[in-house]
């Protein structure tokens, strides 16, 4: 079994289209009618100051926002044209097709590296024959850039790995359920420069086979890893909005809005 059999084939790449997303925590509105097309087979970076709604928006893209008590949402999120919030659609389907890697690595610490990779299969009801699991684990760890480092210790606890290795293990775990989209919420913020570089290489390698959306506060990282950027801003207590979105080269090189230029050049935020 090869890696390309585990991830969506190029013809199966899926675009994600958020339309007029508004979000609330109780009475407090944190996003106001945010729309963004995230192209298939590319990396979209969400940038902007803290508190402008980037992570909230990311969580709306795979129905994690609704897990927060008192949180509500309006708008649509279309995966290959189908609304993930359609009442007829199972929540587990959305979570399987749109995976998530969090800011802090969260492997199951006492579970082996091998079992960490396949843990998501049971959680999402994904069936893989026992005879195919070894190949699945190898292919996902290879895609996450971790196979050569752990191949001799697959039965050792995932919690014994370094921080950067744990984050790549979480990426491998997400890939095991064959997602169409991978969401990343500041995946390198807690990592050293060497680990960050390896994660960025992994993102570049994966982007040809799975659509990626990443939240980052690191402008250099956004410029390195993404093909498209969306600049979020929440001014003077107002809900977060997208000020400007487009090709990364344009956002960094010739933005149309002065606020975008000020942010990407470090004049605020």
pTM attached to this predicted model: 0.91
From 175, 131, 226, select the one nearest 8 (Cα to Cα).
Answer: 175
141 exposure class (CB count in 10 Å sphere: 0-12, 13-18, 19+) = buried
Determine the Cα–Cα distance for residues 226 and 191; give it in Å rounded to an integer.
19
| Strands 43-47 and 228-233, bridge-based pairing | parallel
Give the chain's count of helices (H) and strands (E). Answer: 11, 10
Determine the Cα–Cα distance for residues 183 and 173; give it in Å rounded to an integer.
13
50 exposure class (CB count in 10 Å sphere: 0-12, 13-18, 19+) = exposed
Cβ of 236: how many Cβ atoms within 10 Å?
4
The per-residue pLDDT for 4 is 33
**Chain Cα centroid distance, residue 238:** 26
| Strands 16-25 and 82-83, bridge-based pairing | unpaired
Domain assignments of the chain as residue spans, ordered by start? 3-264
Task: Give the residue ranges of the chain where pLDDT is below 70.
Answer: 1-11
Q: Give me the architecture of the 3-264 domain, per CATH.
A: 3-Layer(aba) Sandwich (3.40)
Determine the Cα–Cα distance for residues 142 and 116; give it in Å rounded to an integer.
14
The per-residue pLDDT for 1 is 28
């Amino acid at each position: 079994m090869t890696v390309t059999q585990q991830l969506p084939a190029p013809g199966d790449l899926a675009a994600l289209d958020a339309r007029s997303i508004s979000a609330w925590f109780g009475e407090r509105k944190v996003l106001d009618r945010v729309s963004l097309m995230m192209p298939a087979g590319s990396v979209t970076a969400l940038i902007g100051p803290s508190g402008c709604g980037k992570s909230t928006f990311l969580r709306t893209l795979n129905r994690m926002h609704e897990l927060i008590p008192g949180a509500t949402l309006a708008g649509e999120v279309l995966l290959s044209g189908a609304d993930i919030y359609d009442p007829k659609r199972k929540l587990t389907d959305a979570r399987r097709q749109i995976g998530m890697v969090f800011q802090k690595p969260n492997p199951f610490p006492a579970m082996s590296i091998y079992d960490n990779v396949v843990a998501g299969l049971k959680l999402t009801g994904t069936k893989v024959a026992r005879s195919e699991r070894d190949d699945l684990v190898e292919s996902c760890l290879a895609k996450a850039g971790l196979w050569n480092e752990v191949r001799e210790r697959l039965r050792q606890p995932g919690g014994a790995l370094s921080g950067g290795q744990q984050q790549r293990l979480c990426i491998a775990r997400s890939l095991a359920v064959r997602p169409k989209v991978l969401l990343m919420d500041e995946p390198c913020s807690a990592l050293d420069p060497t680990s960050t570089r390896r994660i960025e290489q992994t993102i570049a390698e994966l982007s040809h086979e799975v659509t990626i959306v990443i939240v980052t506060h690191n402008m250099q990282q956004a410029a390195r890893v993404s093909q498209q950027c969306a600049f979020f801003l929440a001014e003077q207590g107002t809900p977060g909005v997208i000020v400007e979105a487009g090709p990364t080269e344009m956002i960094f090189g010739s933005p149309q809005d002065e606020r975008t230029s000020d942010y990407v050049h470090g004049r605020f935020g």
